[in-house]
Amino acid sequence: MLFLVWVGALGCGDGEAPSHSVERDAGLEDAGTFVPPVPAPPVAPADAAAPMLTPCPAGWREVIDADDPDVVTCDPWPEGGPLACAADEAHFPGGGGCSRIGSACAGEWPADLPADAIYVRAGEPGGGDGTAGAPLGRIADAMAVAADGQTVALSTGDFAEEVTVDRAVTLRGACVAGTRIVDA
């Protein structure tokens, strides 16, 4: 419950009561409960117009609402929607078509690997030491020995295993189209 105490302005000394109304609470002898006035509901401006959502960014198209031709929105896709792209491509919003993700496959391993990278080849039998000449056969084996900041290099191929990365380790595949982690 909120109680307000009126403190008159210092130095005025006229002793007049405040100009707002104070109602008494039936359960309290002399304490007053302030009841604020109810505000009027908001009123829309007379010249309220729908927000302007145009002009659209480059690569987007204007779409007129079928129910209200005064409403125009922007759509990031061509009229038929996003394009179906290859496994190593995507159609990004506002883009003119499919764009490659990453680099094209140029070999079995990613390019420009650090000297301490741990190599993993899909389907490699056990017994490797993680070097390019004797790669490990599973990502989990590489994660078991990888230190923070180290890179695990994945060959082209499908890795059918569940992968858990629980520290600052980089997984780098040879390329988007050629290196895949699939359901085990």
pTM of the model: 0.59
Q: 99 CB contacts (<8 Å, ≥6 apart)? A: 89, 90, 91, 92
Query: What mean pLDDT, rounded, does the chain reach?
Result: 84
Residue 29, φ and ψ in degrees, nearest 5:
-65, -70
List the beta bridge partners of residue 64.
Answer: 72
pLDDT interval class at 127 (50, 70, 90): confident
pLDDT interval class at 8 (50, 70, 90): very low
Query: Are 156 and 180 within 8 A, CB to CB?
Result: no
The pLDDT value recorded for residue 128 is 92
Percent of the chain with pLDDT over 70: 82
Residues 82-107 have a mean pLDDT of 91
Domains in the chain: boundaries? 61-100, 118-182
The pLDDT value recorded for residue 151 is 97
Angstrom distance (rounded) from CA 178 to CA 174: 7
The residue whose two tokens read 């100009």 is 19
Helix (H, G, I), strand (E, B) or coil at 16: coil
Residues 116-144 have a mean pLDDT of 94
The pLDDT value recorded for residue 35 is 87
Angstrom distance (rounded) from CA 168 to CA 148: 5
Q: 157 CB contacts (<8 Å, ≥6 apart)? A: 121, 122, 123, 178, 179, 180
pLDDT tens digits, 12-70: 445 555 454 444 444 445 567 888 899 999 887 777 666 778 899 999 999 999 998 88
Residues 155-173 have a mean pLDDT of 94
The pLDDT value recorded for residue 71 is 87
Element (H, E) at 145: helix 139-145
HSE, CB side, 13 Å, CA atoms: give it for residue 125: 0
Q: Is the pLDDT assigned to residue 119 strictly greater than 50?
A: yes
Q: Is the pLDDT assigned to residue 169 strictly greater than 80?
A: yes
Residue 27 corresponds to which tokens in the numbers above?
């359960």
